[in-house]
Amino acid sequence: MGVAVKGLRLRRRRAAPASPLERALASALVDGRWQVPDRFNFTGDVVEPLAENPKRVAVTCLSRDGVIEPRTFLQLAEGASRWAAYLRDEGARPGDSVLILLGTSHDWLEVLLACLKAGLIAVPCAPGVLPGELERWIAASGASLLVSDRGAERLLGELSLRPAVRYLDELPPVRRGHTLERAPTHATAARDVALVVPTAGTEGDPRPVAHTHGATFACRVQAERWLDASPGDVVWCTGASSSLEALWNGVFGPLARGAETVFHDGAFDPEERLDHLRRLGVTVLCQAPAEYRALAELPERELRRLRPPHLRRLVSTGDALDPETAAVFAEAWGLTIHEGYGQAETGIVLANGADAGFRPGSLGLPLPGHHVAVVDEQGSELPPGLEGNLAVRGRPPTLFAGYWERPEETREAFSGDWYLTGDLARRDEDGFFWFVARSADLVVSRGRSFGPHEVERVLETHPAVRESGVVGIRDLERGGHFVRAFVVPPAGVEGSEQLEIELREHVEAALPAQQVPREIEFVDELPRTGSGKLRRAELRERPVARRPLWDLGHTEPSPVTDAPLVPAPPPP
C-alpha cells in the first residue's frame, strides 16, 4: 500500500476524458475548481500514454561535453519500466524512500519515473553535496536505497551512514531482440507521498518536504498559466536536480502540457547558455535571477547579437529579480521576465504575467485554484496596503503534505486553515502582492522595519558593485539592528575604505538613514544555495573583519565592536 497523508482534500473529477491521451493532458482545474483523480501515477498516466507516439520527443539532454541526445516518451517509458522492475527485484516496496544522487539527465529522469511507477518515494539529491550534508539528508528522508553513478563512489565510501547503493551500470542490459514488457504500475492514490525534496536551506539545514502524487498532477496549472507551455514548446528549467523548480517546471509541468523539456548537466557559463538556447530551439526559459543578471552583464551588442531566435517567454523564480536586469532583456530582446513566487512547500502560487495582469516589481496575482492573502498574527486577512504574513489558505493539491516525519514542524507551519510562508508582504488595491522580506531577515532600526532587498538594489546600481547581500545585526549599544552589507565588486575593482565611504553615500542619497549600511565587507562571492538563493543566516553569523564605517571620519558614535555579534532574530 502507498503512504497516505491525512488532511489533503482533493475534489473528484466530474467526468473522465475519453482516452488515455486526453487524461494525460487533462486540465487540473474546471471552472476554478480542482479536478484531481482519486488515483494518479505520472509515469503510468502521462508518460506511457504519450509514448504511444514512438517519435514524440520528451526531453533533450545536453551532456557536459556538448553531445545533444534526445529521448522520446517511448524511451523514457521503457527505461522507467526497466528501473521499476530492477528496484522491485532489489527489494524496494511501495512506500520505501529511494535517494537519487544524479544530476539532470535522462538517467535521472528514468529513475525518478521508475520510483513513481513502483509506488516508491523519490528523493532527488544533486551531486556535489558534501558527505556530512548527504548523511543528514539520508537520515532526514529515511532513504533505504540510493541510486547513483560511479562518479559518486568515492563520496559514498566516506559515509558512516549509508543505505544500500545501486549504480547505473548495474542495471541489467536489455538482451538483443528482447521485447520489453512494461512493468506494472502501482495503483498510487493521489494522497500518497511521491516525492521528498529539500527546502532552500537559506536559514539553516534544509527540511524534507513531502509532496503527493496529486501534486505531480496539479503542478500542470503553473505550467499552463505561468510557464505558458504547450505542445510544440521547448522548455528549459535550469534548476538543480534536487529542487522543486526542476521537478515542477522541468519535468511534471511541461511534460503534462505535451511540451519538450531540456536538461543540461553542466556548469553555468553565460555565453555558453546563450549558445545552448539557440542550438536547442528553446522557446520558454526558466532560470534564477542570478543567471539573468550574469547574462545581463554581457556587452549589450553581444547580447543583442546572440538573442535566441525561438525564445518567446522568460520566467524567473527562487529570489527577487532586480528591475535593472529586467530592463536589459526588455531592451535587448524585447521580452519581459515574468516572476513567480513559490517555495518548496507550495510550488508557484503567485505569478506576474499569468492570466490577469502584469505589474513590474510585484509578485503578481494568485494562480487559479489558490487563495493567497496577507494575514495578521491571528490569521485574519489584512486590507490592502498593510504588511503582514504571506499565507496560503486551505489545502490545494499543490501544497506540501508536510515535513517528512516531522509532525510538530508541520503543525507549526500552519495557523488554522492558513499555511504561513514565513515571508512578509503587502497587497495593493488591485490585488497584486509585493514582497517585503523573509520574517527572519526583517531589519528593525530606529523604530522602523524594512527588508534587505531595497538596500541591495540601490547598492547594485553603483558601478563598483556586481552583487550584494544585506543583513540586520543586533545593535547591542542602541537596540534594534544595524545594516551590514557584503559587496562583490566586478572584475578589476578592489574594495577600499574610500569605496566604502562612496557606497555609503550612494545609499544615503536614495534611502532613509536607518537603511544605510553601518558596515560594508568586500567579498569574492556570496554564499548561495543550490537554487541560487542567498544564505543570509550565514552572512549574519560571519564575524566582523573590518572596523565599521563610523570610524572613517563620520560623526555618529561607533557601536561596541568588541562585543559578540548576535544575528537579527525573527520579528515577534
In sequence order, which residues have a C-beta less than 8 Å from that of residue 263 and are 6 or more positions away? 59, 60, 61, 62, 104, 105, 106, 108, 109, 250
Percent of the chain with pLDDT over 90: 65
Q: Which three cell numbers stand for residue 31?
A: 471552472
Range name among 239-243, 477-481, 514-518 with the lowest pLDDT average: 477-481
pLDDT confidence of residue 560: 32
Distance, in Å, from the CA atom of 224 to the CA atom of 220, rounded to the nearest integer, reads: 6
* pLDDT at 157 exceeding the cut of 80: yes
Q: Which of 328, 253, 351, 356 is nearest to 46 (CA)?
A: 253
Higher pLDDT among residues 105 and 63, named by residue:
105
Round the average pLDDT of the chain to a whole number and report it: 87
More confident residue, 143 or 529: 143
Does residue 449 or residue 220 have the better pLDDT? 220
Q: Among positive and negative, which fits the CA dihedral 467, 472, 475, 478?
A: positive
Quick: pLDDT tens for 6-18: 334 444 444 555 5
Sign of CA dihedral 174, 175, 178, 184: negative
Cβ-contact 344, 200 below 8 angstroms: yes
pLDDT at position 208 is 95
> What letter would DSSP give residue 97?
E
Say which residue, 566 or 533, is predicted with more confidence.
533
* 8 Å CB contact between 476 and 563: yes
pTM confidence score: 0.82
- At 318 the pLDDT is 81
CB count, 10 Å around CB of 491? 5
Percent of the chain with pLDDT over 70: 88
* Band of residue 216 on the pLDDT scale cut at 50, 70, 90: very high
Give Rg (Cα) of the chain: 24
Taking the C-alpha atoms of residue 340 and residue 365, their distance in angstroms, rounded to an integer, is 9
Q: Please say whether the beta carbons of 422 and 533 come within 8 A.
A: no
Look at residue 546 in the predicted model and tell me its pLDDT: 54
Grid cell for residue 5: 497523508
Least confident piece of the model among 100-109, 169-178, 469-478, 534-543: 169-178
Residue 284 near residue 236, CB atoms below 8 Å: yes
Q: What is the pLDDT of residues 266-319, one digit of tens each?
A: 889 999 999 999 999 999 999 998 899 899 999 999 999 999 999 999 999 888
